[in-house]
Amino acid sequence: DADVTQTPRNRITKTGKRIMLECSQTKGHDRMYWYRQDPGLGLRLIYYSFDVKDINKGEISDGYSVSRQAQAKFSLSLESAIPNQTALYFCATSGRSNQPQHFGDGTRLSIL
Amino acid sequence: KQEVTQIPAALSVPEGENLVLNCSFTDSAIYNLQWFRQDPGKGLTSLLLIQSSQREQTSGRLNASLDKSSGRSTLYIAASQPGDSATYLCAVKDNQGGKLIFGQGTELSVKP
């Protein structure tokens, strides 16, 4: 089983719909992150959390919200999806600051 | 604002060649630098992590160097193989919140 699991792997939906992407990890890490990847723009940080009671905005948080339900679970929501949120979304985890980040396989999201 | 640049954007080499991938960053006040590999349709796999106090890290045929003062890192791949074909990303972690700032990647193709 993967250490960082993202669901769903693919999602196609319509403008205005509410969408939730989920991430769970078995690595026992405190820190969790959500990124989006767009061609030509690389990966950009949306939100991150250093423990269950900690939520921080990243570079591009507008239009997104997150919930850290437990140490192992971190979900990303799009309250009212718009086409320019079409992208590949990644969840990542890490232990302490001097340790590497570990990524899930991503969710490919298309908004029509 | 930290910016990370990777040149070239794409590289094609014959099997067996030694090669160097470049990463540059604008702010030398980094906590560490991480190199990743991304295969099509997959997430990111961490290859090497260099702390700000280190000059290089090695893993098998891979060697990553860091020159903080000049804002540069290189990833050296020895005796390249077709299985090395992937996109290689570098990312720097800032000194404040532990966020990763990514370059746009170098797409490597190793021809048999």
pLDDT tens sequence across B34-50: 999 999 888 899 999 99
Edge-to-edge strands, sheet with B4-7? B4-7, B19-25, B72-77, B62-67, B56-59
Query: So what's the pLDDT on residue B47?
Result: 96
Cβ distance of A40 and B104 shorter than 8 Å: yes
Q: Which of A55, A90, A63 is nearest to B41 (CA)?
A: A90
Q: Which residue of A lies nearest to B31 if distances are taken between CA atoms?
A: A98
| Mean pLDDT computed over every residue of chain A | 93
Query: So what's the pLDDT on residue A2?
Result: 65
Query: So what's the pLDDT on residue A97?
Result: 78
Select from B43, B51, B100 the Cβ nearest to the Cβ of A105. Answer: B43
Query: So what's the pLDDT on residue B44?
Result: 92
Query: So what's the pLDDT on residue B61?
Result: 97
| Mean pLDDT computed over every residue of chain B | 94
AA letter at A67: S
Within 13 A of B1's CA, how many CA atoms are on the CB side? 3
CA-CA distance, A21 to A91, in Å (whole number)?
9
CA-CA distance, A88 to A76, in Å (whole number)?
13
CA-CA distance, B4 to A98, in Å (whole number)?
19
Distance from CA of A46 to the nearest CA of B (A): 11
pLDDT digits (tens, 9 = 90+) for A7-38: 999 999 999 999 999 999 999 999 999 999 99
Query: So what's the pLDDT on residue A49?
Result: 95
- Chain A segment 11-70 residues within 8 A of B by beta carbon are 31, 33, 40-45, 48, 50, 56, 58-59
* pLDDT reading at B7 higher than 80: yes
Query: So what's the pLDDT on residue B108?
Result: 97
Q: Residue B95's pLDDT band (boundaries 50, 70, 90)?
A: confident
Query: So what's the pLDDT on residue B42?
Result: 84
Phi and psi for B83 in degrees, rounded to 5?
-70, -10
Select from B31, B46, B103 the Cβ nearest to the Cβ of A97. Answer: B31
Cβ distance of A45 and B32 shorter than 8 Å: no
Cβ distance of A44 and B102 shorter than 8 Å: yes
pLDDT digits (tens, 9 = 90+) for A66-83: 999 999 999 999 999 999
CA-CA distance, B15 to B105, in Å (whole number)?
21
Q: How many CB pairs under 8 A join A and B?
A: 56
Query: So what's the pLDDT on residue A1?
Result: 55
Cβ distance of B105 and A42 shorter than 8 Å: yes
* pLDDT reading at B55 higher than 70: yes
Query: So what's the pLDDT on residue A44?
Result: 94
